[in-house]
């Protein structure tokens, strides 16, 4: 994983509004001084399926002689690098489906790059609304004189609970397990390859972003991870939205259940602090690592606040 990507993960909340602001700042700084190109990598996983890392959420891809599928789009700069690499592999075939696992800007801002060459952009039914709402908040909160944020490119094809279609020599399947990281998280399966992209349902050994305004539920996120693990073979390779510096953006069902255990421990820890009579402002200042999860580093206000909000309302 590249240093640029780790820096982005360390400084961004991954909320779409914040991502839009970060992108504008990045573009502004680029205009002032030459910038080194972001570090990127294409990795083959199984058969026709692999992943791409750059700046933002991990991109998944499938390319064979008759079809192309891309999962998530990062930001425009790395989306262009990714599309160039996909074209090299596909002979510049059109993209049959661009799937957005959820609405956050580090997964969807690059939609604008893929849109001209993509037949359909596919997402869970709640996702376009959440993306438009996030874009409206970003525009409202923009600093005076700042360039307006780009008009969001949203999915034109949606599903409620499940979606499945043959794509070339693969079978693409999507499933919504209910509110988790957001209120519209798609789990994307390449059934023949045995590769599943879970988007930001897994932050591998990294404190997650829990988007409560967009309908996130930690309690249901825990159930969703258990269900995803149960729905797939033990040999399945899972692709994660993000990973800590020492860890990979891929893994097994054991990593899904480790993420489940982290979320469970987070809720139980905050519940215990509330029962001990500690006020919210004291709880949010706790920085000790969560017991049993040293790789995540010190606790941060972002996750503590989300857990407190879910428990107290």
Q: Given this model, what pLDDT does residue 17 score?
A: 38
d(CA 14, CA 8): 9
Match domain 3-312 to its CATH number in 3.60.15.10, 3.30.479.30, 3.30.9.10, 3.40.50.11540: 3.60.15.10
DSSP state at residue 142:
P
Closest CA to 105 of 175, 183, 24: 24
SS3 of 57, please? coil
Structure confidence at residue 37 (pLDDT) = 74
What is the reported pTM? Answer: 0.88
For the chain, how many helices (H) and strands (E)?
10, 15
- pLDDT, residue 41, reads 97
Residue 36: what pLDDT? 74
Closest C-alpha to 183, from 225, 137, 216, 226: 216
List of residues 6+ apart from 92 with CB closer than 8 A: none
Q: Which residues of the chain have pLDDT under 70?
A: 1-35
Q: Using an 8 Å Cβ cutoff, are 242 and 57 in contact?
A: yes
pLDDT of 25 reads 40
pLDDT at position 157: 98
Residue linked to tokens 């979606």: 163
Dihedral sign computed on CA atoms, order 303, 305, 306, 308: positive
């Amino acid at each position: 994983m590249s240093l640029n990507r780790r820096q982005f993960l360390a400084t961004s909340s991954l909320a779409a509004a914040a991502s839009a602001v970060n992108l504008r700042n990045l573009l502004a700084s680029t205009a002032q001084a030459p910038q080194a190109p972001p570090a990127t990598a294409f990795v083959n996983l199984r058969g026709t399926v692999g992943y791409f890392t750059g700046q933002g959420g991990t991109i998944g891809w499938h390319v064979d002689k008759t079809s192309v599928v891309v999962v998530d789009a990062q930001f425009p700069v790395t989306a262009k690098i990714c599309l160039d690499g996909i074209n090299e592999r596909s002979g510049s075939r059109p993209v049959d489906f661009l799937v957005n696992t959820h609405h956050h800007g580090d997964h969807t801002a690059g939609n604008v790059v893929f849109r001209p060459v993509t037949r359909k952009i596919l997402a869970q039914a709640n996702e376009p609304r959440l993306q438009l709402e996030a874009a409206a908040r970003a525009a409202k909160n923009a600093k005076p004189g700042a360039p307006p944020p780009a008009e969001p490119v949203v999915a034109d094809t949606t599903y409620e609970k499940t979606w499945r279609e043959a794509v070339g020599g693969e079978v693409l399947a999507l499933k919504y397990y209910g509110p988790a990281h957001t209120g519209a998280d798609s789990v994307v399966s390449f059934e023949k390859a045995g590769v599943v992209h879970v988007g930001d349902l897994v932050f591998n050994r990294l404190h997650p972003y829990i988007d409560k305004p967009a309908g996130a539920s930690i309690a249901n996120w825990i159930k969703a991870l258990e269900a995803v693990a149960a729905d797939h073979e033990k040999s399945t390779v899972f692709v994660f939205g993000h990973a800590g510096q020492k860890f990979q953006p891929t893994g097994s069902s054991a990593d899904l259940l480790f993420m489940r255990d982290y979320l469970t421990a987070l809720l139980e820890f905050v519940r215990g602090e509330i029962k001990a009579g500690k006020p919210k402002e004291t709880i949010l200042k706790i920085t000790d690592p969560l017991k049993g999860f040293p790789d995540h580093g010190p606790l941060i206000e972002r996750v503590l606040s989300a857990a407190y909000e879910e428990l107290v309302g």
